[in-house]
Amino acid sequence: MATISFDLVSPENLVFNDEVGTIIVPGKDGDLGILPGHSKVMSSLRPGRVMVYSEDKNLIKSFFVSGGFAEINPEKCIVLAESVVEVNSLEKTSIEKEIQELENKEGKESEEQLSVAKAKLEAINVNYYDKI
Amino acid sequence: MPSLKDIKTQINSVGSTKKITSAMKMVAASKLRRSQEKAEAARPYSSRLEEMLSSLASSAASGEGIIKLLTGTGNDQNYIVVPVSADRGLCGGFNSSINRETFKLVKSLESNGKKIQLMPVGKKSRDFFNRVMKDQIIESFVDLNVSSTGYESALNISNKLQELYFEGKFDRCILVFNKFKSAISQEVTQQQLIPLDVSNSEKKEEKENSSNAIYDYEPDEETILKDLLPKNVSIQIFKVLLESDAGEQGARMAAMDNATRNAGEMIDSLTLKYNRTRQAFITKELIEIISGAESI
């Protein structure tokens, strides 16, 4: 089976770079599953999980991104994300606390942060896509 | 003529200065390596973003809303100049060349009838412009510490700039910073940040179009462009901050290397002087003893 090269880039560094089987990215209008040979797409992302699978459909890694862009062509998929964390390293209690604090604040900025934090919490709680 | 003790004290003080400068040099060298790594790590992101942007730039037709970051306000009257300096001194001409260049730029723009505002980044340029053109500073950023805080610090500056831009406070934004060329040389560079300088990305676009087929856009080109443009401003600032940080460490390393060498030379010449003086003293005493013995 074919593989597709996947780069996950944050402003600070190159987080992930390898040949993989499948990637799922949280596109703005809905999740995109990317297999080798995907047509050329450029999409912006919403906060959510970027899931990386090996050729035999085993989950290798899942990242949380707070938004960004994906550029996809048949051989390569590049995700530019503003902040990247591995889902496993997220802590539920600290995020819940953050949400509580942000809910009391007002303003556009904290609203944005709140939606990112809520998406983070969701990323920990849900487990669909764990097996595909 | 200075006494032996005076010279001795001087040698000692130059010696301790030498120790400090050589320590600073070594610290700067290790920091330089780290800053350089950081700057290199940030490169894939910014170059990718630029590529995306250049392939999208053609679709920006109207000059409304966020697209203004690309197309400009249509005016060319109010400028904002952002000199990026270091927070600390002792790095040769690093800060003063930024300040001098910015000052020259401001004066030349003013003589063309433009209105200039300043937004210094880094203590050294803030202090300088606080002295010479205080009333033109609208905001300043100090203690950014980009190598430890990372992207956040760039985001603050970029948010402030965009806020001012959309309030219509300025039409053009120019960054003045030290571009990192190599560990020992930096080049003062001016970069137009807002509106985006498309002259060099247009060239890239041609290349892009010839090698790549057309992309599908999701949700659509304009939405992506609207997301992309503000990010591009932040990432450009981030890149500049990292370059400037690496440049600062490089400049400090070179300056401290020079200082260490000069201190070494000074110690040599002082030691020579010390020995000569001591010899002269001994000779004088000998002559006194001999002439004393002769007179008996």
The ipTM is: 0.77
Q: How many angstroms away from the CA of A47 is the closest CA of chain B?
A: 13
- The helix or strand, by DSSP H or E, that contains position B48, with its residue range, turns out to be helix B4-56
d(CA A43, CA A29): 9
Chain A residues contacting B via beta carbons under 8 Å: 7, 9-14, 27-29, 32, 39-44, 67, 69, 71, 73, 78, 80, 82-83
Report CA torsion sign: B144, B148, B154, B160: negative
pLDDT, position B14: 96
- Which pLDDT band holds residue B205 (cuts at 50, 70, 90)? very low
Per residue in B176-193, is it b (16+ CB within 10 Å) or e — as a string? bbbbbeebeebebbebeb
Q: Do B224 and A69 touch (CB under 8 A)?
A: yes
- Chain segment B44-57, per-residue pLDDT in tens: 888 888 877 777 77
Give the amino acid at B265: E
**B102 pLDDT above the threshold of 90:** yes
SS3 state of residue A40:
coil
* Contacts across the A-B interface (CB distance below 8 Å): 77
d(CA A59, CA A82): 23
pLDDT, position B94: 92
Please tell me which residue, A122 or B260, carries the higher pLDDT value.
B260
Q: Checking DSSP bridges between strand A84-86 and strand B115-118, what pairing results, if any?
A: unpaired
Per residue in B51-60, is it b (16+ CB within 10 Å) or e — as a string? bbbbbbbeeb
d(CA B147, CA B189): 21
pLDDT, position B210: 42
Chain B, nearest residue to A26 by Cα:
B218
Measuring CA to CA, how many Å separate A70 from each of A8, A10, B54, B219, B244?
9, 12, 15, 12, 29
Q: Do B151 and A69 touch (CB under 8 A)?
A: no
- Chain segment B240-290, per-residue pLDDT in tens: 998 899 999 999 999 999 999 999 999 999 999 999 999 999 999 999 999
User: Considering CB atoms only, which of A28, A80, A82 is closest to B218?
Assistant: A28
Q: Do A69 and B228 touch (CB under 8 A)?
A: yes
Q: Do B44 and A7 touch (CB under 8 A)?
A: yes
- Which pLDDT band holds residue A120 (cuts at 50, 70, 90)? confident
Taking all residues of chain B, what is their mean pLDDT, rounded to a whole number?
A: 86
In this structure, the number of other CB atoms found within 10 A of the CB of residue B135 comes to: 7
Q: Do B223 and A42 touch (CB under 8 A)?
A: no
Q: Do B218 and A42 touch (CB under 8 A)?
A: yes
